Amino acid sequence: MLCSHTESICFRAHATMIAQVMEDIPLHLVAGSGWPVLHLLGHVSRVVRRHRFQLDFHPQELLEATQTSSASTSMLDLAECLPALRAAAKQTASKLGGPELVFATMAHGARFSPYVARFIARARALGIGDSLVVFCLDDGAYSECKAVKGHCVRGSPSILNKFTLPLVLLRRGLGVMWLDLDVFLFRSPLPAVVRQLSKGSYDLLVSGSFAVDCICSGIVVFLATERTTHWLEHLLAWMYEHPYEHDQKAFSAFLRAGERVAFDHELTVPVELVPAWSFLDPETEFVSARHVEVAGWTGDPDNIVAFHMLHGDSDDTHAGRQFAARNGLGVGYTPLLDLFFNQTELPELYTTPVLPHRISEELREALMRSRWPSQRPTSPGRCNETVPMRF
């Protein structure tokens, strides 16, 4: 059970040993025993499966930059947005001297779709709304997006879309800053991104955890380089062929960032072709809610760029809830998203660049509950080092 929720490579190693033990044992004896192996397999098939092999973009659209006559609905929507997105990205890049970036997010379901319009409004208040594209994975998200005249691309619910939209944009020469919808922007992230890129020759930037060196794929900057595009194509293919794999674990494994989904020689991108990458500052700028033990932030809240509320299904775990409740951290997952995106009495939060904790004591208290009293460890713990590996 532990392996099925942590590292699939660990699960596979134990499964191999179990298969050897069961090789000469009739199945009916196993089923009639008290050994819960069949319950485990049923649990894994129901809970761990992440997608059902559905792609909204056609394979050719993902692999090539050319437009075909039989384009997908998603591609037709994106093609309509591309000229405006390019113009906005070019204008912003010329002002800051950085790369041409568009912003992208996706939404579906009753927990997220109602906040699409306010997510767009907040981006506009910070000056980046014209370069934001929303992958609308249900009718509710699409209606919210169209109601505020956003750049809207229709699709269907699938975790694969977290990779397909950035890949299509990269193919067309546009860098992408991916933002999960449960990220509240305190200020435009572009100056911080440009500053981080000036420190080295990077292909990719990603947010991280406060107390360990784990990546968090809720905020990612994909630069439009050949290496990044090649890497993301192979990551998407891996995710497509492994429907039980957790997207963030696969992302980390393909970056060689700590987590594992296969033995190194089995990954389809060799280590020498992995994009050069770095963390976005996880201490004070690109921070997360302390719903899990290793998350949080410290420093001056005025310096926060983006606050990741960890509202997604990937983080909505029983263990995470227990930790938050035990330590009095936050007020659960739903209230944080509602607190920041449903302030009906504070319309200026979505129409001006005001900092949320400056205009609302309620928002300030919610933010401060995730604050650590100390600085980030100079040597943060290794990602997933506590998972037992017996091989």
Q: Got the DSSP string for 7-41? A: -HHHHHHHHHHHHHHHTTS-HHHHHHSS-THHHHH
Pairing state between β 151-154 and 132-136: parallel
CB neighbour burial string for 300-310, b if at least 16 within 10 angstroms, e if fewer: ebeebbbbbbb
pLDDT given at position 3: 64
1 compared with 264, residue with greater pLDDT: 264
Residues 249-308 pLDDT 10s: 999 999 999 988 888 999 999 999 999 999 999 999 999 999 888 899 999 999 999 999
- Under the banding of pLDDT at 50, 70 and 90, the label for residue 333 is very low
Dist. CA 223–CA 228, nearest whole Å: 7
Least confident of 3-7, 27-31, 66-70, 173-177: 3-7
Dist. CA 246–CA 151, nearest whole Å: 28
Structure tokens belonging to residue 12: 């596979």
Structure tokens belonging to residue 213: 């060196």
**Is the predicted pLDDT of residue 173 greater than 80, yes or no?**
yes
Dist. CA 142–CA 124, nearest whole Å: 18
Least confident of 39-43, 74-78, 105-109: 39-43
Best CA proximity match to 309, nearest among 326, 285, 334: 334
pLDDT given at position 332: 42
Best CA proximity match to 179, nearest among 107, 94, 263, 273: 107
Dist. CA 365–CA 94, nearest whole Å: 38
pLDDT given at position 5: 59
Dist. CA 282–CA 304, nearest whole Å: 10
Structural domain spans, the chain: 71-181+211-274
**Is the predicted pLDDT of residue 246 greater than 90, yes or no?**
no
Report the alpha-carbon angle 142-143-145, nearest 5: 65
Q: What's the distance, Cα to Cα, between the start and end of the chain in Å?
A: 17
Best CA proximity match to 11, nearest among 210, 332, 262: 262
Phi and psi for 215 in degrees, rounded to 5?
Answer: -80, 160
Report the alpha-carbon angle 206-210-215, nearest 5: 30
Look at the block and give the residue holding tokens 């067309």: 172
Model pTM greater than 0.85? yes
Average pLDDT, the chain: 89
169 compared with 262, residue with greater pLDDT: 169
**Is the predicted pLDDT of residue 385 greater than 70, yes or no?**
no
Residues 6-20 pLDDT 10s: 566 666 667 777 788
- Under the banding of pLDDT at 50, 70 and 90, the label for residue 68 is low
Percent of the chain, pLDDT > 90?
A: 67
State the CB neighbour count (10 A cutoff) for residue 335. Answer: 14
pLDDT given at position 322: 45
- Average pLDDT over every residue of 317-344: 61
Using DSSP, state whether 72 is helix, strand or coil.
coil
pLDDT given at position 37: 76
312 compared with 304, residue with greater pLDDT: 304
**Cβ(3)–Cβ(11) under 8 Å?**
yes
